[in-house]
Amino acid sequence: MNALTEPATRTRQPLLDDAIITLRAPTQVWSRASGDAGGGAIDGVYHGDVRHVRELELSCDESEVEWISAAPDGPSRVVFSAVLRGIDDDTPDPKVRLLRERVVLPGEVRETWTLRSARDEPVSTTLRLRLGAEFASLHDVKAGAPEAGVAEVSARDATASARSQTASFTLEATGGSVEADGAEIRAVWPLDLPARGEATASWRIALADTTLVVSGPTASSGVDVAAAVEASRGGDPRLGRWLEVALGDLDALRLTLPQHPDDAFYAAGAPWFFTLFGRDSLWAARLALPLDVGMAASTLRVLARLQGDRDEPDSAQEPGKILHELRATTLVQPGEGIALPPLYYGTVDATALWVCLLADAWRAGMPETEVTALVPALRGALDWLIRYGDNDGDGFIDYHDRTGHGLANQGWKDSGDSIQWRDGRLAEGPIALCEVQGYAYEAALAGAEILEQLAGDAEEASRLRTWAAELRARFAEAYWVETPEGRYPAVALDRHKQPVDTLTSNIGHLLGTGILDPGDEAHIARLLLGPSLSSGFGIRTMSTGAAGYWPLSYHGGSVWTHDTAIAVHGMLRAGLHAEAEQVVAGLLAAAEAFSYRVPELHSGDPVTEVSRPAPYPAACRPQAWSAAAAVVALSAVRER
């Protein structure tokens, strides 16, 4: 079937790159540059996993509203500016302005509309708000097929309410009047604008959802943004600007579980991942660790409370395993044949990464009593690595979906085509990713150190060190390949124990784990900086020499900032400081290109061909681990 005969019902994921986002997890607003919502597929007011409001429109009875700017002030506030020439005088300069200030808080959206006049005569005008209630599932919005779930809308005086079975919101129009018609709510404010004066109108929406499994934190962030920015001075000025934006975004992405409101973690990102993700939350906390040990500690506790305690194939749960994601309801992706239960454990790397973060946080100053309290969870995680991580008995940590409706790929590159041979063929599972072996090796040694020093368990420490040494030897024998692109570790072993020979960014995750000799680490760093992997704006996920390479492929040639930052993190640990600085230079160029809010991923186009990378149009932003990459860049500067 060609494009001309393709059914009109085909759905597509919304594009995000040209939308304005204002957020404070678990609430977010996506709109056009005017502040209005409805013109883009992503547009609306979201709370948790539900889009409560689909359309949001400001209008003026007496004039066209001509929008001229959108000025974000941090992640949670933006001011849109317009002129109202229909109620202006005849001089060339616009003399009547409209400022639309939007502020987003957890469970609340506020707007203040301010009319300002430089005219010598007073003006009377009317401003209106039109709002369309919806209550569509976030998952359906992502799939491009949202279905409205409005059950009841009512209005009285200056207040309106809308609700579905589990979600609801209330609109309060201060100084205005409100009416409802079906799913549409309309508010109106007659305003008298004095000569050379101003007049205001305001409204707020309070949002609720009885199924929400996350909530906004009650405590403020422990990060001193000003001190971090000051620490960057004397180097590239772009780093300070990136830190300011990135740390603000990390603050806005903080969430807690309602049962433990004092323990925060980073939501993975907006708009789709406003929840707890094992891998994402761990890596974001790990990359940001130099500025916030407390966030690392609380993330560890949150995940330990949800650690697997039984063998349950449908959720991929196993004793000791750290979860992949937490949702309020089953996550269904019909086009991909995926249906994930609300508590899903289908991740091969989060368990080892939990151990690695615990060790890093301990060394960075996490109180010893807090570390000791997590020793039972540590034992469980290490036991999972040794007893359950190896599914096929070859001595490597691997994954295989046992349900037929879970994630086919369970490393960080979790798209269906992410693990492929250099000639473009897809690898068959079980898949044993190279970086996961590095994580497991590091976790075993780190866990041994903690158990020996804090639990006095020398016998278990010795057993772990022996297991790690054997893993390291097996890795050296099984993973290295030689292709026209050079000698390097394969991205994975497939079901036939053959090394999948594509050159990928995954090898950057091996740096600093200890599974490689120093000479091999330096060799890998050179490959990462070579023209086939380095775009000049970061490290490509796949080499340009691979048949499957495409600069806008999700995991097959694009650049993910966090992925590049992990390589820098490893370079610094391996003592490869000059190489780390070179990679950071590319990250700063990318940060500048995206106004310092670096998206989830961007194109792998080379800096020799473009002055700035093209956006991947469906990329999330902000994304926690992309924002945390700024802290890694700061670490590279500090260690210069």
Position 334 scores a pLDDT of 67
Residue 390 burial (10 A CB sphere; 0-12, 13-18, 19+): middle
pLDDT band at 638 (very low <50, low <70, confident <90, very high): confident
> Would you kindly state where each structural domain of the chain is located, as residue ranges?
20-209, 225-638
pLDDT band at 533 (very low <50, low <70, confident <90, very high): very high
> Looking at this protein, which amino acid is placed at residue 301?
R
Q: Is the pLDDT of residue 495 over 50?
A: yes
Give the chain's radius of gyration (CA, Å): 26
Position 4 scores a pLDDT of 36
Q: By the 8 A CB rule, do 451 and 457 touch? A: yes
Q: Is the pLDDT of residue 242 over 90?
A: yes
pLDDT tens profile 86-123: 999 999 999 999 999 999 999 999 999 999 999 999 99
Position 5 scores a pLDDT of 37
Taking the C-alpha atoms of residue 137 and residue 244, their distance in angstroms, rounded to an integer, is: 33
Q: 225-638 maps to which CATH number?
A: 1.50.10.10
Read off the pTM. 0.96
Q: Which fold has domain 20-209?
A: Beta-galactosidase; Chain A, domain 5 (2.70.98)
pLDDT tens profile 127-172: 999 999 999 999 999 999 999 998 899 999 999 999 999 999 999 9
Taking the C-alpha atoms of residue 551 and residue 554, their distance in angstroms, rounded to an integer, is: 9
Of 211, 240, 205, 4, the closest CA to residue 103 belongs to: 205
**Average pLDDT of the residues in 300-308:** 98
> Looking at this protein, which amino acid is placed at residue 405?
H
Q: Is the pLDDT of residue 617 over 80?
A: yes
Taking the C-alpha atoms of residue 188 and residue 253, their distance in angstroms, rounded to an integer, is: 34
Taking the C-alpha atoms of residue 434 and residue 493, their distance in angstroms, rounded to an integer, is: 8
Q: Is the pLDDT of residue 418 over 90?
A: yes
Of 69, 15, 24, the closest CA to residue 46 belongs to: 24
